[in-house]
Chains A and B, each alone.
Chain A
Amino acid sequence: MKGVVLAGGTGSRLRPITHTGPKQLVPVANKPVIEYAIDDLVEAGITDIGVVLGDKGREEIQAYLGDGSDFGVDITYIVQGEPLGLAHAVGCAKEFVGDDSFVVYLGDDLMREGIVDFVADFDPEAYAAGIGLQRVDEPERYGIVEVDGVPTAGTADPDAVGDVVGLVEKPDDPPSDLALIGIYVFTPAIFDQIEKLKPSWRGELEITEAIQGLIDDGNRIQSHVVHGWWKDTGKPEDVIHANRLVLDDIERDVRGTIEDGADVTGRLELGEGSVVEAGATVRGPVSVGANTTVESGTYVGPYTSIGDDCDVGDVHIESSVVIGESTIRCDRRIVDSVIGRRSTITRNTDKRPEGERLVIGRNSSLEL
């Protein structure tokens, strides 16, 4: 089986962070989101991976992933160009996958429990595709599937749902509470369906319509209910939430220096060359990259990730993501924030006239 990671898209919902890089490289707990997808594929035994790239951030993703050898995989790049939809992205992988079945993984998705069971359960002899699903509380907000044979409450195996027999986007009257989570396994039969598609009202080829085409032609679609959280990281609040979810599972891993007199409790990842100075306070779970200094007088609170090459001083920061190469030295409380690379936040208390001094790029968002 092969893997296809979809890494196109414009990242418009993550601006201004994505003005300077693709959304797939935004770090969660100091690891780019796309690397979680690669890791999940490797864990499922898939090392032949096609990465579908759009126009946005193509070179940055290639520079990060390289030929895949650093991650134990062999990567083929597939340049989609214009964002013409998920089905177009998948269709561009036809030459790459050949006659194999293949997993499609959205490059800005995170799944806590990986895809090992999902891949192992798929039977390409019986099914044309498999769809990862999860039960949701508000199905009218999601792409929802109709399945045959939903077990009732109290059934021995509530996840033993039947085949997928229909898909509907954000239904007013949901046929189930099983939502599409952006993980699929396909046989090459999907390509014939993609060829039949016409662009939707938003000008894209929709993968859900291709799957519906498989169903309409009499193919069976396997359902697979995924446990544990899954998270799309398309918006800043999603990045903060995903960071929280991942940090919940980290182990203590201190490769840098915690000076005597630093107050560190909870789980801390501290990269090589990084220092938590005497007089600094860290309350885990916290992840700090390499060559970063947490200065005396600083408070780094739970669910914070600070990237490489940062100086953080005299500030209270928690539940935030600092991507890297930034200086934050101000007597302020920073919470629930995403701070882009090479940012500078400093105090202004000694300057006249008094006031906030801002240099803000397009699509920035501040709450003062």
Chain B
Amino acid sequence: MRIITHSCPDCGTVVAGNVLERERVLKCPGLDCEAVLRFTDLPESDREHLLANLERYRAE
């Protein structure tokens, strides 16, 4: 299964693509980091893959 992640450009915290897809926009979960992370930060091919395989990236 393709595992997609994104690193916060400010603090380096890594966020899984499934979290970005679920939240769409979120404050970076890194400690004391004010950056805003968006699903659209992911490359288009990653976004398409996540959306096409939503059931795989969601726990039952």
Q: Do A and B come from one complex?
A: yes
- Taking a contact as CB atoms under 8 Å apart, the answer to whether B29 and A205 are in contact is no
Contact A203 to B59, CB < 8 A, known contacts A81-B18, A95-B14: yes
Smallest CB-CB separation from B33: which chain A residue? A77
Is B3 a contact partner of A195 (Cβ separation < 8 A)? yes
Q: How far is the CB of A241 from chain B (nearest CB, A)?
A: 29
Q: A76-B13, A84-B57, A203-B59 are in contact. Are A91 and B31 (CB under 8 A)?
A: no
The answer to whether A205 touches B1, judged by C-beta atoms less than 8 angstroms apart, is: yes
Cross-chain contact A79 with B1 (CB below 8 angstroms): no
Q: Is the CB of B31 within 8 A of A67?
A: yes
- Identify which of B5, B7, B60 gathers the most chain A CB atoms within 10 Å of its CB: B5
B24 within 8 A of A: no
Within 8 A of A (CB), among B9-40: 12-16, 18-19, 22, 29-31
A96 CA to B5 CA, complexed, in Å:
10
Alpha-carbon gap, A84 to B5, bound state (A) = 14
Min distance, Cβ B7 to any Cβ of chain A, angstroms: 6
User: For chain A, which range describes its interface: under 10, 10 to 19, 20 to 34, or 35 or more residues?
Assistant: 20 to 34
Contact A77 B2 (CB under 8 A): no
Residues of chain A within 8 A (CB-CB) of B15 are 79, 81
- A78: nearest chain-B partner, CB-CB: B14
B1 contacts A199, CB within 8 Å? yes
**Contact digits for A196-219, partner B, Cβ 8 Å, 1 yes 0 no:** 011100010100000000000000
A80 close to B (CB within 8 Å):
yes
Q: A91-B3, A92-B5, A194-B1 are in contact. Are A80 and B16 (CB under 8 A)?
A: yes
On whether the beta carbons of B12 and A94 are closer than 8 Å, the reply is: no
Q: Is the CB of B16 within 8 A of A66?
A: no
Closest to A10 in B: B59
Interface size (B, Cβ < 8 Å)? 21
Which of A66, A95, A195 interacts with B1 by CB under 8 Å? A195
Residues of chain B contacted by A82 (CB below 8 angstroms): 18-19, 22, 57-59
Instruction: Assess whether A329 is interfacial by the CB under 8 Å rule.
Output: no
Q: A77-B31, A95-B5, A195-B2 are in contact. Are A203 and B16 (CB under 8 A)?
A: no
Report A55-87 residues with CB < 8 Å from chain B CB. Answer: 58, 62, 66-67, 76-84
CB distance from B41 to the nearest CB of A (A): 14
Does A93 make an interface contact (CB < 8 A)?
yes
Task: Assess whether A76 is in contact with B12, with CB atoms less than 8 Å apart.
Answer: yes
In the bound complex, residues from chain B placing their C-beta under 8 Å from that of A95 are 5, 7, 14
Q: Is the Cβ of B18 less than 8 Å from the Cβ of A84?
A: yes
Residue of B whose beta carbon sits closest to that of A195: B2
Determine which of B1, B22, B59 lies in contact with A198 in the assembled complex, contact meaning CB atoms within 8 Å: B1
Q: B16, A79: Cβ atoms under 8 Å?
A: yes
Closest partner residue, chain B, to A198 (CB atom): B1
* Residues of chain B with a CB closer than 8 A to A77's CB: 13-14, 29-31
Q: List 15 A-B contacts (CB under 8 A).
A: A53-B29, A67-B31, A77-B29, A79-B13, A79-B15, A80-B16, A81-B15, A81-B16, A82-B18, A92-B5, A95-B7, A96-B14, A195-B1, A195-B2, A203-B59
Chain B residues within CB distance 8 Å of chain A:
1-3, 5, 7, 12-16, 18-19, 22, 29-31, 56-60
The interface of chain A, by Cβ under 8 A from chain B, is 50, 53, 58, 62, 66-67, 76-84, 88, 91-96, 194-195, 197-199, 203, 205
